[in-house]
Amino acid sequence: MFKLIEKALFSASITETLSATRQAFHLAQSMPLKGDEAERAIRPISEVCFPDKPLCVSPRDLPRRRLGSEAGKRSFIHAIAHIEFNAIKLALDIAYRYQNLPEQFYIDWLYVANDECKHFELLCQHLKNYDCEYGDLPSHDGLWSMAVKTEHDLLARLSLVPRYLEARGLDVTPGMLEKLYAQKDMASAAVLEVIVEDEVTHVAYGTKWLDYVCEKEGLDREGVFFEHVESYLKGQILGPFNRPLRIRAGFTNDEMDKLEQLDKRDLKH
Ligand SMILES: [Fe+2]
Ligand SMILES: [Fe+2]
């Protein structure tokens, strides 16, 4: 199974990434991992491969995505497809990189990777309605850079990737859905409804495994989470936060209160 994860992670082909991820997911459901873990050499994260397209540019150089126009909608859907493709690699990387965890850890992250394949394909299918294919528009690599920074630290990875970056999806998607419904764009809204519901589970797995590691090491989860979030984000913690969805994903009310205190938006404007 780890061979398949490795194949998916270190392939620059979209088709091969999707098919190896799905095979790894199905294999993990049916076969115990015992023995598979032994003598596994882990390749550095810098070797993980991505397709040649989309072109990677700085977030500053991306056009603003306004949902009102056809072009704006196209780049909005393309941007989410890019997030979902990166999310496949992120979930694979968690399952690949960290060793000596319970079997269920690997099963859970492959479940997430398989969900991300589904999200990505739904968006690619939807992009066709805009005469567009994944890779046609430029994108940025904000998500992946956080994976790179947390390569050697599982506590930081779980705090920053599922419980911060993915959780931001829970904060912003309901607002996007409202706009899409107001525009009567039921096709785009239907895709986002599927995604947001699945993402609650992904963030919840972040909580579950951060809890597990903290408990094993005798650490306090909330302390660990805020320590990592503050040090990696250098204080750039941005709201607003969707409390009901985050509570479903395992955040406590105390964590939500503290996040709101740390929100660095200038609320006067
Ligand atoms: Fe997703
Ligand atoms: Fe996700």
Asked whether the predicted pLDDT for residue 268 surpasses 90, the reply is no
All residues at 6 or more sequence positions from 112 whose CB lies less than 8 Å from its CB, including other chains: 87, 91, 201, 202, 205
Is residue 45 pLDDT above 80, yes or no? yes
Tell me the CA–centroid distance for residue 23 and ligand 2, in Å: 19
Span from the CA of 250 to the centroid of ligand 2 (angstroms): 15
State mean pLDDT over 171-186: 95
Region 74-86: what's the mean pLDDT? 94
Tell how far the Cα of 110 is from the centroid of ligand 2, in angstroms.
11
Global pTM reads 0.94
Interval between CA 87 and ligand 2 midpoint (Å): 6
Return the pLDDT at 269.
47
What confidence tier does 67 reach under pLDDT thresholds 50, 70, 90? confident
For residue 123, what pLDDT band results from cuts at 50, 70 and 90?
A: very high
Residue 194 CA to ligand 2 center (angstroms) comes to 11
Ligand at shortest distance from the CA of 165: 2
Give residue 235 CA to ligand 2 midpoint distance, Å.
24
Alpha-carbon distance of 182 to 30, in angstroms, equals 44
CB-CB contact of 43 with 3 (8 Å): no
Predicted local confidence at residue 86, as pLDDT: 96
Q: Compute the distance from residue 160 Cα to the ligand 1 centre, in Å.
A: 16
Distance 269 CA to ligand 2 centre (A): 31
Domain boundaries, the chain: 2-32+64-262
Q: Label residue 218 left, alpha or beta by phi (over 0 means left) and psi (-120 to 50 means alpha).
A: left
**Residue 267 confidence (pLDDT):** 59
Q: pLDDT tier at 81 (50, 70, 90 boundaries)?
A: very high
Q: Which ligand is nearest to the CA of 199?
A: 2
Q: Quick: pLDDT tens for 22-36.
A: 999 999 988 767 656
CB 187 within 8 Å of CB 129: yes
Quote the ligand 2 centre to 68 CA distance (angstroms). Answer: 26
pLDDT greater than 80 at residue 61: no
CATH of domain 2-32+64-262: 1.20.1260
Token pair for 19: 């098919």
Predicted confidence at residue 224, as pLDDT, reads 98
> How far apart, in Å, are the Cα atoms of 161 and each of 59, 109, 135, 235?
19, 12, 23, 16
CA 123 to ligand 1 centroid distance, Å: 10
Q: pLDDT band for 37, please (50, 70, 90 cuts).
A: low
125-164 pLDDT, tens per residue?
999 999 999 999 988 878 899 999 999 999 999 999 999 9
Gap from CA of 268 to ligand 2 centroid (Å) = 32
Average pLDDT of the residues of the chain: 92
The mean per-residue pLDDT over the stretch 181-204 comes to 96
> Which residue carries 């997911």 as its tokens?
25
CA–CA distance, 86 with 143 (Å, rounded to integer): 7
What does the pLDDT average to over 168-197? 96
Q: Of the bound ligands, which one is closest to the alpha carbon of residue 203?
A: 2
